[in-house]
Chains A and B, each alone.
Chain A
Amino acid sequence: MPSFLIKVTWGKWQTDEQWIPAGELQAAALFDLRFSNNKLSAWKIEEDGENLDRVITALAVNKGKTSIDNVDYVLLDQKLVEQLRVKIEKSRGATPDMVANDEWHYDFIELTVSKIVALATCIKKLSMDRVREPRVRELIRNGLKQNHFDLNLVDERLTTRIQGLH
């Protein structure tokens, strides 16, 4: 069964700050579940994980990115999403990778506050994955070679850094 990737920031999900009561999450975590029009962006990852690297690359060069950074993410099994009664809708992504945008981008739709909280609680229990910066560099290099993304759609500062990769 496929799963859905949501990009997160590991630190936002940590609960060791003294002010965070036991069993709570810091509000910053909700920013990883930022939604507009009651929709949350997610990426479908095939069961064999074959498209994972390409999705990671698309996120690493996404609009607004100015440097090459690690990518933290969580994978939600499709079954789990269904159990949370979250509706899923195919939509077009907005990264510089047109294939990824067309093939694998989805929205979690008709989200309510309780569904967002349920998602957050669920994510907290899952283990997060991280693609570290050196690997992200490698993925970007490969993606560039294979024309997986349009460099013209990448922030010019990031473009300069990408062009400096060897």
Chain B
Amino acid sequence: MTRLRSGWAHNSSRTDQSNRWDGWSGDSLSVANAATTRSTISRVDSKTSKESSSIPLALPQLETCTEQLPISGQLEQQILSLFQTASDGVSEDQQYRAFSDKLSTLVILYGDSAIEAMAPFIIGDRVNAEIASATLNCLSHIEGRTSYNFRIWIMERSLQSRSSWIRDAAALGLEAMDDPAAIPYLKEALGREPNSELRRYLQSVLEYLQRKR
């Protein structure tokens, strides 16, 4: 089990080192394999450092191809399809809008499960930085409390990405979500940030959220 800095712990029963959380390859076969690997994240109580809940991050493999897909299986497929379509580009307004609409619909329909299913793509570097950033941006703008904690979690976790583009998108997402609860994670991110411009942005987001306290 790897204890994550964001206060979540990641448990994985995977033995295949090629499917490491921080370096999955992006081909569709490994995406499909990874989607069936049992994995969980656990909320860690910041005071007691004990796990307070455990959330499965992926689904067990289906036994036969004729077996009816559970809703979560359909979700996995829809998320995969979402990111496969996005690989054609999300830069054009129309492309971004279509991506954003589909992503928001999935989150509204499936709630936390949708974020769980997206997590390996975003945190595991299985989509490129542009798509990951667009995803974080969309998630930060979903209105209301839908999957709020999961959306905050994925932002916080993305602050640890190897890509400065994704780290920046995560910081902007946290700013857009306007939640001072993100302050400790932003402080940690600021402490380890190697990019001077991004450090400046993180500092300004931090100051903004501190004023909101």
Contacts and interface: CB of A to CB of B under 8 A. Distances in A.
User: Does A associate with B in a complex?
Assistant: yes
A16 B163 contact: yes
B93 A133 contact: no
A62 to B, nearest CB: 9
B172 A70 contact: yes
Contacts of A69: 137, 172, 176
Q: What band does the interface of chain A fall in when counting residues whose beta carbon is under 8 Å from B?
A: 20 to 34
Interface string B189-206: 000001101000100110
A153 interface: no
B175 A128 contact: no
Contacts of A16: 162-164, 194-195
Interface in A1-54: 10-12, 14, 16-18, 28, 31, 34
Classify the secondary structure of B's interface with A. helix
B169 A128 contact: no
B141 interface: yes
Contact of A28 (B93, B130, B166, B197): B130
Contact of B175 (A10, A17, A34, A133): A133
Interface string B26-44: 0000000000000000000
A115 interface: no
Given A31-B91, A67-B141, A14 B208 contact: no
B208 A132 contact: yes
A63 interface: yes
A132 B133 contact: no
B116 interface: no
B100 interface: yes
A128 B197 contact: yes
B197 A11 contact: no
A63 B169 CA distance: 22
B81 to A, nearest CB: 21
Contacts of A14: 163-165, 195
Interface in B92-135: 93-94, 96-97, 100, 129-130, 133
Given A66-B100, A128-B197, A132-B204, A17 B129 contact: yes
A132 B164 contact: no
Nearest to B100: A66
Contacts of A11: 129-130, 133, 163-166, 168-169
Contacts of B129: 11, 17
Contacts of B93: 63-65
A28 B91 contact: yes
Interface of A: 10-12, 14, 16-18, 28, 31, 34, 63-70, 127-128, 130, 132-134
Given A11-B165, A132-B204, 6 more contacts: A14-B163, A64-B94, A66-B100, A67-B137, A128-B197, A132-B201
24 contacts: A10-B197, A11-B129, A11-B133, A11-B163, A11-B166, A11-B168, A11-B169, A14-B163, A14-B165, A16-B164, A17-B129, A17-B163, A17-B165, A63-B93, A64-B96, A66-B97, A69-B176, A127-B197, A128-B197, A132-B175, A133-B172, A133-B175, A133-B176, A134-B175
